[in-house]
Amino acid sequence: MMNTTQIGSIDQLKLVFEKFDVNGDGKISNSELGSLMSSLGHSVKKEELQRMMEEMDSDGDGFVDLNEFIELHTNGMDSAKVLDDVKNAFLIFDMNGDGSISPQDLQKVLRNLGQSCSIAECRRMINGFDSDGDGMMNFEDFKVMMMGPPQQT
């Protein structure tokens, strides 16, 4: 049985999936992934894009559906790969490379994704995960946002 944290994570993954699935057909194509990467300022070679798609496309149909996307982000990869992906995502949001995400950084990335958010809204989003109260999201805060709090053993 899933706990509420897992359900919340699944809901977040669905929202992210919908951003990737530009045409709303329920699957992410190679071109949609490429367009998203370009909109975030990352030029990806065709070969790299193909490799990324093959890694995510577990049924080999050439597309990534919601179930494959969720599987990939929940238990489909080893923890080192997941951490590496989170680091890469952090670098996308850290627009000026200073090691933290400001409300302005967040607003720029969201605008590139077609979302309009005010600085006040971005500040509220960051404050929800800002552990040291400096108004910025550092990598540890970002990791908690993306992966949830560390599991207690």
Find the CATH number of the domain harbouring 127.
1.10.238.10
Calculate mean pLDDT across residues 131-136. Answer: 94
- Return the sign of the alpha-carbon dihedral for residues 56, 75, 125, 142: negative
Would you tell me how many other CB atoms lie within 10 Å of the CB of residue 145?
Answer: 18
Of 74, 106, 122, the residue that ends a domain is 74
Question: What is the average per-residue pLDDT within 107-111?
Answer: 87
Is 153 domain-assigned?
no
Is 115 inside any structural domain? yes
137: confidence class by pLDDT, cuts 50, 70, 90: very high
Can you give the residue range of the structural domain that contains 49? 4-74
Please report the pLDDT score of residue 46 as a whole number: 86
Domain total of the chain: 2
Average confidence (pLDDT) over 132-139: 94
Q: Classify each residue of 23-58 as buried b or exposed e, where b means 16 or more C-beta atoms within 10 Å of its C-beta.
A: eeeebbbbebbbebbeeeeeeeeeeeeeebbeebbe
Kindly report, residue by residue over 49-102, the tens digit of the pLDDT: 888 888 888 899 999 888 888 777 666 555 666 777 788 888 888 888 999 999
Last residue of a domain, one of 74, 100, 131: 74
21 shares its domain with 34 = yes
100 burial level (CB within 10 Å; 0-12, 13-18, 19+)? buried
Q: How far is it, in rounded angstroms, from Cα 127 to Cα 40?
A: 23
Does 139 lie in the same domain as 83? yes
Q: Does the residue 52 lie in any domain?
A: yes
- 12 vs 23, more confident: 23
What is the rounded distance in angstroms from the CA atom of residue 21 to the CA atom of residue 14? 10
Averaged over 16-45, what is the pLDDT?
A: 80
Whether 67 and 17 map to the same domain: the answer is yes
> Considering the chain, what is the average pLDDT of its residues?
80
pTM here is: 0.52
